[in-house]
């Protein structure tokens, strides 16, 4: 099917679901550590334990960083994730999460810890996944990001991340998380060693998971960025823009209304292609992502986006922007478009 026709069909489906409105969230990423024992071949961010440039942000400092962004930019969400470091105890996360909630008066949602991090943390804490999630929820966890899915094919995972949990285990972890009432997002990293069939299988497995639990809030497709990665020696160039547009359109036609929000994927593809992806079925821009460290490690420059610039980009593509919260609910009133600075801060 021609790409333009695929995009037109996908956009028609999105129009029937959410119309011409496109959401975005003001958020930050807190990469609390770069220490990781998994060693994915597509990752330029991680460092081995003991590496001279390894770091771990102390819980109090993490809370202070989130508070600073909350006061300056009035962020609504912190994406809290890092590497898999089995030496970090559960109490670290509990202290950090409680500190973030206290410092921001409960206004900042914690969207944190991938299925991979949760699985390793449960093992290192010698407790069940359900017990772990229960404790993290009590400390302040609101939702779980979809990182670590990549492509849910064991062939692919064996080539790009052989020490990571299996695709089947990723599904099981997310199933358990949602069974406990915690919403999640879902992702796909394409443009490396996967086949088109494996991409399709990935989407269908996510759809099956959503039909079983119903708490997958959104889908995000990222292209593999080869810079400074081991896998980049074999695949030196990222996938082109047509691959993002096709991935977005196909995802919309597969998920339809069952996963209502599909993000534009601008973070790796750039703002202009992000705008075009709206015509191919995307209906959420994602976030401002203050503090992102993972993609810069792969050599991807990131623009500084604030409310006004995001809204300008969305309107420039012919759509109506609105600010949302962590759960994809619109933020009511002029508060969204004209967030006032907190004491000592600057307007976003």
- Helices 167-179 and 115-124 cross at an angle (nearest 10°) of 80
Is the pLDDT score of 94 beyond 80?
A: yes
Please check whether residue 345 lies inside any domain of the structure: no
Structure tokens at 47: 């460092």
- In degrees to the nearest 10, what's the CA dihedral of 169, 111, 287, 269? -20
Residue of 216 and 84 predicted with greater confidence: 216
d(CA 249, CA 276): 11
d(CA 47, CA 44): 9
320-323 and 21-25: which strand pairing? parallel
Confidence of residue 93 (pLDDT cuts 50, 70, 90): very high
**Greatest alpha-carbon span in the chain:** 54
Say what the pLDDT of residue 300 is.
38
Please check whether residue 342 lies inside any domain of the structure: no
SS3 of 186, please?
strand
Give the pLDDT confidence of 110-168 residue by residue, as tens digits.
Answer: 999 999 999 999 999 999 999 999 999 999 999 999 999 999 999 999 998 888 999 99
Question: How many helices and strands, by DSSP H and E, does the chain display?
Answer: 13, 10
Domain count, the chain: 1
Residue 267: domain span: 3-323
Give the pLDDT confidence of 258-310 residue by residue, as tens digits.
Answer: 999 999 977 777 789 999 999 999 999 999 888 644 444 434 344 567 788 89
For 244, other C-beta atoms within 10 Å of its C-beta total: 28
SS3 of 311, please?
helix
Is 117 annotated in some ligand binding site? Answer: no
d(CA 267, CA 222): 8
Q: Which residues pair with 77 in a beta bridge?
A: 27, 109
Please check whether residue 242 lies inside any domain of the structure: yes
Please check whether residue 336 lies inside any domain of the structure: no
Please check whether residue 250 lies inside any domain of the structure: yes
Give the pLDDT confidence of 219-272 residue by residue, as tens digits.
Answer: 999 888 767 667 777 777 677 789 999 999 999 999 999 999 999 977 777 789
CB burial string 104-125: b at 16+ within 10 A, e below: beeebbbbbbbbbbbbbbbebb
Say what the pLDDT of residue 19 is.
97
Is 43 annotated in some ligand binding site? Answer: yes
Give the pLDDT confidence of 182-203 residue by residue, as tens digits.
Answer: 999 999 999 899 999 999 999 9
Q: What are phi and psi of 216, to 5 degrees?
A: -80, 110
d(CA 292, CA 331): 24
d(CA 238, CA 64): 36
Please check whether residue 330 lies inside any domain of the structure: no
Q: For the residues of 157-189, what is the DSSP string, one character each?
A: HHHH-TTSPPHHHHHHHHHHHHHTT--EEEEEE
Please check whether residue 103 lies inside any domain of the structure: yes
Please check whether residue 111 lies inside any domain of the structure: yes
Confidence of residue 328 (pLDDT cuts 50, 70, 90): very high
Is 161 annotated in some ligand binding site? Answer: no
Is the pLDDT score of 341 beyond 50?
A: no
Give the pLDDT confidence of 25-70 residue by residue, as tens digits.
Answer: 999 999 999 888 886 776 766 678 788 998 999 999 999 999 999 9
pTM of the model: 0.90
Is 97 annotated in some ligand binding site? Answer: no
What's the distance, Cα to Cα, between the start and end of the chain in Å?
Answer: 42
Say what the pLDDT of residue 229 is.
65
d(CA 134, CA 180): 8
Rg (C-alpha) for the chain, rounded Å, is 19
The enclosing domain of 149 has a CATH number of 3.20.20.70
């Amino acid at each position: 099917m021609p790409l333009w026709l695929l995009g037109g069909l996908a956009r028609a489906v999105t129009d029937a679901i959410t119309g011409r409105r496109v959401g975005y969230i003001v958020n930050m990423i807190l990469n609390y550590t770069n220490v990781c024992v998994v060693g994915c071949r597509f990752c330029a961010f991680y460092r081995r334990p003991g590496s001279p440039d390894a770091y771990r942000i102390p819980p109090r400092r993490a809370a202070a960083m989130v508070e600073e962004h909350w006061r300056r930019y009035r962020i609504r969400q912190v994406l809290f994730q890092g590497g898999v470091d089995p030496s970090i105890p559960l109490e670290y996360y509990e202290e950090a999460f409680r500190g973030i909630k206290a410092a921001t008066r409960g206004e900042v949602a914690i969207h944190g810890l991938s299925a991979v991090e949760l699985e390793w943390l449960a093992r290192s804490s010698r407790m069940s996944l359900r017990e772990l999630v229960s404790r993290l929820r009590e400390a302040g966890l609101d939702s779980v990001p979809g990182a670590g899915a990549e492509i849910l094919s064991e062939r692919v995972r064996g080539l790009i991340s052989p020490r990571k949990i299996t695709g089947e285990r990723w599904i099981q972890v997310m199933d358990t998380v949602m069974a406990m009432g915690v919403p999640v997002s879902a992702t796909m990293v394409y443009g490396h060693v996967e086949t088109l069939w494996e991409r399709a299988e990935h989407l269908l497995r996510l759809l099956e998971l959503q039909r079983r639990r119903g708490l997958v809030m959104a889908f995000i497709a990222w292209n593999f960025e080869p810079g400074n990665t081991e896998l980049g020696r074999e695949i030196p160039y990222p996938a082109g823009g047509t691959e993002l547009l096709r991935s977005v359109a196909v995802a919309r036609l597969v998920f339809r209304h069952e996963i209502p929000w599909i993000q534009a994927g601008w973070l790796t593809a750039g703002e202009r292609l992000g705008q075009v992806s709206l015509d191919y079925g995307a209906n959420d821009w994602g976030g401002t992502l203050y503090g992102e460290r993972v993609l810069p490690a792969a050599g991807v420059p990131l623009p500084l986006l604030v409310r006004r610039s995001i809204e300008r980009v969305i309107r420039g593509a012919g759509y109506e922007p609105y600010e949302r919260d962590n759960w994809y609910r619109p933020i009511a009133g002029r508060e969204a478009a004209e967030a006032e600075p907190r004491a000592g801060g600057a307007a976003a």
